[in-house]
Amino acid sequence: MIEWFPYERAPLGRTRLRYVDLDAVLTDGKVERASKAPGFVLLYYGEETEIIFVVGGEPVTAVRLSDRERSVIPLTAVSRRAAAEREWADVAYFQAPEPQLRAMYATTSGMPDLPPQMLDAAYPSRIFTIAREREYSGVIEFAEKNRKVHYLTFVEGLPMHAFFADQRRASDVRENESLSSRIERLFQPVRVEGMVATGYPHVDRMPGQAPPALCDVYRELITAAIAATERTTGRDVAVGVFSSALEVVRSKQPALYGYALSAAGRLEGESVAPAEDMTESVAALLFEALTQAERAGGQKAALTLEEISRQNRFILQANGFFQRFPWPLHI
């Protein structure tokens, strides 16, 4: 499993998670201007590593790596696991340029388009020939057997960026080392033994998940909507209406695929969808459910929405929530 990644600066070297306030690390960019540089937080759990990507001082998305699989995971799931396993897990925080973050994300968010069978690290010239002949745009990951990883990004067949786990940018500049010589050092015979090369599709920007705080607001909004509906229709009708609406909307809104409504009338689940998609999905759910509730004898849908939205109206307004309804609202 990969444990050593390229980086430019290490504000927090690898240490036990129990000695660290993870929330303070993730919000460091809001306190220290210099820390708003892009970077990533690593959480080590033995056979798995989770990575939180930080851009502009804010966590934007997260992934999980193991020898068996790689996947994008919800930020809320990362925080929950870190809290539960903090006594024995390790943590580290590194700064790195955004093109490297995109390269790292690309190798976990998509399926390889150049599998290892096509790329033999022992013959690097063939790798560059394949990239040139295909006019390849993507990321080639080079994973050494000592758990170090390196990335080369290509644009139309030509190497554009290179990020090496054991070559700091500062020393490269001081030594006036060229990209070609750095690449040449990567493919020394002693290093390529056991090295695995894999190509992944290009990612042109870092996607952002909806902030956990916004997801919590939407979750509480739906709980409040069910409670408000219950007062006029009864518990069974209210929960039934929202369960039916969730089934309808979930088939059309991928952001809600991971959610379900509990018997207690609470929305449970997690998502890696961006804020805009979550806002669109929750608005669609409330529109469908409140419209059904009104037809079942509940109060007017617009009145219910006004009632439950008033407390969080500013954050809802900031995310364009109210514009997604056809009713005139007085918040």
Q: What is the pLDDT of residues 97-123, one digit of tens each?
A: 999 999 999 999 989 999 999 999 989
> Residue 28: what pLDDT?
65
Report which secondary-structure segment, H or E, holds 235: helix 235-250
Asked whether the predicted pLDDT for residue 262 surpasses 90, the reply is no
> Residue 170: what pLDDT?
44
CA distance 235 to 160: 60
Asked whether the predicted pLDDT for residue 192 surpasses 50, the reply is yes
> Residue 242: what pLDDT?
95
Percentage above 90 pLDDT, the chain: 67
What torsion, rounded to 10 degrees, do the Cα atoms 217, 220, 226, 229 define?
A: -70
273 against 57, higher pLDDT: 273
> Residue 32: what pLDDT?
55
> Residue 167: what pLDDT?
64
Distances (CA, A) of 114 to 125, 163, 197: 15, 19, 9
- Taking alpha carbons only, the member of 5, 8, 10, 26 closest to residue 213 is 26
The count of C-alpha atoms lying within 13 angstroms of the C-alpha of 74, restricted to the half-sphere facing its C-beta, is 21
Overall residue count recorded for the chain in this entry: 331
User: What mean pLDDT is reported for the chain?
Assistant: 90
> Residue 149: what pLDDT?
93
Q: Tokens at residue 53, please?
A: 């990507």
What torsion, rounded to 10 degrees, do the Cα atoms 164, 166, 170, 176 define?
A: -70
> Residue 173: what pLDDT?
47
Backbone angles phi, psi at 245, to 5 degrees: -65, -40
> Left, alpha or beta for 176 (phi > 0: left; psi -120 to 50: alpha)?
left
The count of C-alpha atoms lying within 13 angstroms of the C-alpha of 69, restricted to the half-sphere facing its C-beta, is 3
161 against 263, higher pLDDT: 161
Asked whether the predicted pLDDT for residue 172 surpasses 50, the reply is no
Q: Tokens at residue 298, please?
A: 């509940």
CA distance 91 to 192: 28
Question: What are the pLDDT digits (tens) for 33-48?
Answer: 555 789 999 999 988 9
Question: What are the pLDDT digits (tens) for 289-330?
Answer: 999 999 988 889 999 999 999 999 999 999 999 999 998 888
Question: What are the pLDDT digits (tens) for 140-154?
Answer: 999 998 889 999 999
Asked whether the predicted pLDDT for residue 268 surpasses 80, the reply is yes
CA distance 172 to 165: 13
Q: What is the pTM of this model?
A: 0.86
Domain boundaries, the chain: 14-95, 97-204, 212-324
> Residue 34: what pLDDT?
55
CA distance 76 to 216: 10
